[in-house]
Amino acid sequence: MATIELTKDNFNETLNDNDFVLIDFWASWCGPCKMFGPVFDRASEKHTDLVFAKVDTEAQQELAASFEIQSIPTLMVVRDKTVIYAQPGALPEEALEDLIRQARELDMDKVREEIAKQQGDGAQPQG
């Protein structure tokens, strides 16, 4: 599947309709973004069962702000509507492949359990 352009209009639909989405937050003036772009595109051609998407932070400032993107490129990995990875920086091809492998191997039931536990711990009154 080719890389798709995410906007505030198709963002929720894309995440709701797909179990595994990699999102590249980028801008045309960003040097590291230009270096990471081809790496991201090659991975999208290799992993056709995953959705690869890009958010142009200049055109989609509202979307970038909602994720508190402060540094680009930022790569975000979303599985089952849960953000499991979000880090700024251009990854080399080997590192991106390793990240995809690790994300595929994650037990999402355990991830959701851990998130619920963390949210529960924060919500419990002390004393």
Q: Which of 6, 22, 30, 99 is catalytic?
A: 30
Tokens at 39, concatenated: 């790496």
Sign of CA dihedral 50, 63, 88, 25: positive
CA distance 114 to 108: 10
Q: Which of 21, 33, 50, 76 is catalytic?
A: 33
Catalytic annotation on 33?
Answer: yes
Catalytic annotation on 27?
Answer: no
The H or E element spanning position 75 is strand 74-79
Q: 13 CB contacts (<8 Å, ≥6 apart)?
A: none
Sign of CA dihedral 33, 84, 79, 69: negative
Give catalytic residues, as residue numbers: 30, 33
